Amino acid sequence: MRAHVVDPSAFAPPYDHALCAAVARAGADVELITSTFAYGPVPAVEGYTRRESFYSWTPRTDVHRVRTLAKLAQHVPDMLRYRACASKADVVHFQWLPVDALDAQLLPSSQPKLLTAHEILPRHPKPGQRWGRRRLYDRVNAVVTHTSHGRSRLVDELGVPAEKVELIPHGVFDYLTNQPDEQPLPADLAAVEGPVVLCFGVWRPYHGIDVLLEAWNGIENAELWVAGLPRMPTAELTANPPARTRFVPRFITDAELPAFFRRADLIVLPYRAIEASGVLYTALAFGKPILATDVGGFRDVGAIGAAHLVPPSDPDALRAALRELLQDDDLRERYAAGARAAAAGPYSWDVIGRQTLALYERLLA
């Protein structure tokens, strides 16, 4: 079977790589159709092929708006060009299509198509976006969601037929745990003694970093590290932080990432809302104890004992959980064991690769 995995904006190269490699191991001939990733190196190809067919003249700049406008200018001709060659695949699996209403009209029509709903709806939909996303779900043969929460939203909130929705978990990013070019921590972080709590990933308002900083007041004998690329104003967060807090406000490359997770005694995910989180699947891969809010896909890992959950937007509950976990080594180890079991079981990419290939085969049949 020939399968195309299509991520025009290279929105999630680690996920694309892991999915393509897993489906290839399961027995398919897989090609990833994507664009150049602007923020750092991407995982090496493993058992599949990769073609960068989208947005070939996007400028290399840190100005996000300039990059976005350049991509929009190229999107329609690039989608039409891909549509012309999509017939080479038996199945086309789209990821993160950027212009819902338009893309619904640009999809290839000659073979089964499926879409992974990484985000069920845009977090702050503009006029017409909800209709456009629903239209996109109508135009594909199957919709993949990573969580039971996502499946409920698709069926109950948006009215997507239940038989069209496939629940396939997001796999752990285990490739990060075995990199030949792994880099050490920066010297100032490596010198830290005592427990470390790590809040990692892109900074966005719904990630609840402000709630975490409020909760950290009163936590003693541990350090909080907030590391990742800001995608929001940061002045209020960093102007007067609580004691024993360090900020690393930049993109952390794959080679740098393991040192942060290996050093951390606890991973905290204080999100206000989420469907699925790449940081969660990184923490599972490293077998780390996880403290998360009781929202979205975090509930699935909490239900199998792989994370400790607290209510969202509740700094008092978060502070109490931080204290409990930092003081109880056995409790942290119990959640770490749950994370390792999840990574080897339902969140294993080999399991997910077989589930995905089985879905492709059902669509063809």
Summarize pLDDT for 255-289 with one digit per residue, the tens.
999 999 999 999 999 999 988 898 999 999 999 99
Q: Residues 180, 267: one domain?
A: yes
Q: Residues 84, 195: one domain?
A: no
CA separation for the pair 312, 295 (Å, rounded): 7
Q: What is the structure's pLDDT at 14?
A: 87
Per-residue pLDDT band at 320 (split at 50, 70, 90): very high
Q: What is the structure's pLDDT at 60?
A: 66
Q: Domain range spanning residue 337?
A: 175-344
Q: Residues 182, 141: one domain?
A: no
Q: What is the structure's pLDDT at 61?
A: 63
- Across the chain, which distance is largest between two alpha carbons, in Å? 61
179 exposed, middle or buried (CB, 10 Å; 0-12, 13-18, 19+)? middle
pLDDT at 65 over 90: no
What does pTM read for this prediction? Answer: 0.84
Q: Residues 232, 330: one domain?
A: yes
Q: Residues 213, 335: one domain?
A: yes
Q: The domain that contains 132 carries what CATH number? A: 3.40.50.2000
pLDDT at 63 over 80: no
Q: Residues 331, 193: one domain?
A: yes
pLDDT at 123 over 80: no
Average pLDDT rounded to a whole number, residues 330-351? 97
Average pLDDT rounded to a whole number, residues 188-192? 96
Q: What is the structure's pLDDT at 86?
A: 94
Per-residue pLDDT band at 62 (split at 50, 70, 90): low
Q: Residues 222, 308: one domain?
A: yes
Q: Residues 14, 163: one domain?
A: yes
Q: Residues 228, 141: one domain?
A: no
CA separation for the pair 202, 282 (Å, rounded): 14
Tally of structural domains, the chain: 2
pLDDT at 146 over 80: yes
Q: What is the structure's pLDDT at 127?
A: 82
pLDDT at 170 over 80: yes
Per-residue pLDDT band at 64 (split at 50, 70, 90): low
Q: Residues 27, 157: one domain?
A: yes
pLDDT digits (tens, 9 = 90+) for 192-249: 999 999 999 999 999 999 999 999 999 999 999 999 999 999 999 999 999 999 999 9
Q: What is the structure's pLDDT at 159?
A: 95
